[in-house]
A and B are shown apart, each in its own frame.
Chain A
Amino acid sequence: MIAVENLSKRYAGGEVVKGISFSVAKGEVVGFLGPNGAGKSTTMRMITGYLPATDGKIEVAGAHLPEQSLRVRQRIGYMPENVPLYPEMRVGEFLEYRGRLKRVGRGEIARRLDLVLDQCGLAEVRHKIIGTLSKGYRQRVGLADALIHNPPLLILDEPTAGLDPHQIRSFRELIKELGQDRTIVLSTHILSEVEMVCGRAIIINRGRIEASDTLANLEKRVQAGALQIEVKADPATVLEKLRALSEVSVATEISQAGDWVAVEVVAVPGKDIRGEVDQLIKRENWPLRDFRREKARLEDVFVELTQE
């Protein structure tokens, strides 16, 4: 659906996007992840044809930029950052205007309008003036605008920024639902959003792609999470025996409560030590009351990949 090759963007002030390449297959939901100022918005604006690229190739749904810009724009539903709208227009009127502008036929527009109003939960504010709507509703109007011409590809720039937790939750549900029959690229700096909505993440930092993989694979890239156990035994012995295991790299005492000692065990990268530790505990007959592994989080991946 999207094929980007060696894309770069230079301004007088410097290079914002530095020769990135990636592709997005049909039906994928991809998260663009990166700290503020990483080049996410610039990249999205180049894909939508709004900003001309300094260098590189962009192909969207079989059409090339910048030669076939109108055809590309026709196939993209784009929701810009901060969702700019005309505040003096009414919701229905605005969406009808946008639909017509994006070449929805006169006979079709009423049906499309009803559909997106319903899909985005806007039916009850259809006749309201956009300027009087809450941030959450305005965000929905932006999404409805992106959907009105039924594009195969949605590009959403920070779609949940500025929403309250309830609104964020319902917005994510909506995006998930839309992702079932569309290709979606969304940018965010909220990691949990990617975890909840996207099948794949592209991590961008300072104009370069640091990683592009499924969430599960990304998590594997950082040290598998540490294992925490709590047993009733002599602390020194516990640590000594654990450290003797072949796949354990570090074992440290966290706390003691009465006879109980809590220990954190970190594996050699790429190894799963749960089995080995379990066998050790059974062999030594240590009473056990806690055994859990901290799951490696996308946040760790992100921090590790984007640190200075």
Chain B
Amino acid sequence: MTRAFWILWKREAGALLLSPIAWVLLTCMALVSGFSFSQCVAYLGQGVREFTVMQIYFYIFHFWFLLIILVPVLTMRLFSEEYKTGTIEMLLTAPVRDGDVILSKFFGALTFYLILWVPSLLGLAIFQAWTGQTVPVAWAPLALSYLMVALVGMFYLAIGIFGSVLSRNQAVAAMISFTIIALLFFAGFLSYLVRDPGWREALTYVFTLEQMRSFSAGIFDSRPVVFYLSGTVFFLILTQRVMAGRRLKG
């Protein structure tokens, strides 16, 4: 990482943490994840279940709904605002590479995204302290669940940044990234429906929910890791291409 990257990252992460949108997101996140977590615990309290709290918590609808909505809102202003107010010109006439600018925005957003997950960890910690159990919150499922959260987050954030570079209008940017993310997320469910084995195989690669299910049970699979990392790189490269193209148009 270049020096310019760190200076830019500091500013990006700082700008996110100081923006009102960040605190609204953080509050919503804490509310929804807290609510869904307490529901999980209530469900487990009804009798003997074959799931651990981690498995239910990371499978529940609230959780994914939040992720799909939250990422576009988090990323929509990253480039849109710079293009709208013209600060992009100031930014790109400083001696910095386009790549530094894109990566700093990406990692700045990722930093904040990871902070958003801290309240959910607190929920699990309270659960463990309260019940005194060690099995439900074992290290491997815990680490793998949050690894998956990070991987999916990186992929979605890269899509969000791509959406943001496409439009000066934040609402348009959010809508574009929301559409791409939602399509990818729900495409996985089609694997239940298609007959063709080739398609079914392909769709399981993007079936985030199933992948999360195995990760939260402590079962590691390298395929999703490769898929999300390469997807992230792909959308960041697309972002760079769009940025270069926007300059050609002035």
**Chain A positions near chain B (C-beta within 8 angstroms):** 11-12, 42, 45, 48-52, 70-71, 73-74, 76, 78, 80, 82, 84-86, 88, 97-98, 100-103, 145
- Known contacts A48-B93, A98-B94; 14 further A-B pairs (Cβ under 8 A): A42-B250, A45-B250, A70-B95, A78-B93, A80-B86, A80-B93, A84-B86, A84-B90, A97-B7, A100-B7, A101-B7, A101-B96, A102-B94, A102-B95
Quick check: is B87 within 8 A (CB to CB) of the other chain?
A: yes
Report the minimal beta-carbon distance from B84 to chain A, rounded to whole angstroms. Answer: 10
Q: Complex: how many Å from CA A76 to CA B225?
A: 43
Residue total for B at the interface (Cβ-Cβ under 8 A): 24
Contact flag A50-B247 (CB < 8 Å), given A84-B87, A88-B19, A145-B90: yes
When distances are taken between beta carbons in the complex, the residues of chain A under 8 Å from B18 are 88
With a cutoff of 8 Å between Cβ atoms, the chain A residues found around residue B92 in the complex are 50
B59: min CB distance to chain A, Å: 39
B8: interface (CB < 8 Å): yes
B87–A85 CB distance below 8 A: yes
| Chain A neighbourhood of B31, CB < 8 A | none
Which residues of B does A touch, CB under 8 Å?
3-4, 7-8, 11, 15, 18-19, 85-90, 92-97, 247-250
- Residues of chain B within 8 A (CB-CB) of A82 are 86
Contacting pair A51 B250 (CB below 8 A):
yes
A97 surroundings in chain B (CB, below 8 A): 7, 11
Q: Which residues of B contact A78 (CB under 8 A)?
A: 90, 93
Report the nearest A residue to B94, measured CB to CB: A101
Closest partner residue, chain A, to B82 (CB atom): A84
Question: What is the CB-to-nearest-CB distance from A58 to chain B, in angstroms, rounded to a whole number?
Answer: 14
| Contact A50 B8, beta carbon cutoff 8 Å | no
Interchain residue pairs with CB less than 8 A apart (29)? A11-B249, A11-B250, A50-B247, A51-B247, A51-B250, A52-B247, A52-B248, A70-B97, A71-B95, A73-B94, A73-B95, A74-B95, A76-B93, A78-B90, A78-B93, A80-B86, A80-B89, A80-B93, A84-B86, A84-B88, A85-B90, A86-B87, A88-B18, A97-B7, A100-B7, A101-B94, A101-B96, A102-B95, A103-B3
B88 CB to nearest A CB, Å = 8
The 9 closest A-B pairs by CB, nearest first: A84-B86, A84-B87, A73-B95, A74-B95, A70-B95, A48-B93, A80-B89, A78-B93, A101-B94
Residue of B nearest to A81 (CB): B86
Residues of B within 8 A of A145 (CB): 90
Chain A residue contacts of B90, Cβ below 8 A: 78, 80, 84-85, 145
A50 CA / B18 CA spacing, docked (Å): 29
Q: Which of B19, B93, B248 contacts A73 (CB 8 A)?
A: B93
In the bound complex, what is the Cα–Cα distance between A122 and B93 (angstroms)? 23
Query: Which chain A residues border B19 with CB–CB below 8 Å?
Result: 88
Q: How far is the CA of A179 from the CA of B249 in the complex (A)?
A: 33
Q: How far is the CA of A80 from the CA of B91 in the complex (A)?
A: 11
Residues in B with CB closer than 8 Å to A73 are: 93-95
Complex Cα spacing A304 to B75, Å: 51
Nearest Cβ distance between residue A126 and chain B, in whole angstroms?
18
A contact residues around B8 at 8 Å (CB): 101
* Interchain CA distance A185-B7 in the complex, whole Å: 29
Residues of A within 8 A of B95 (CB): 70-71, 73-74, 101-103
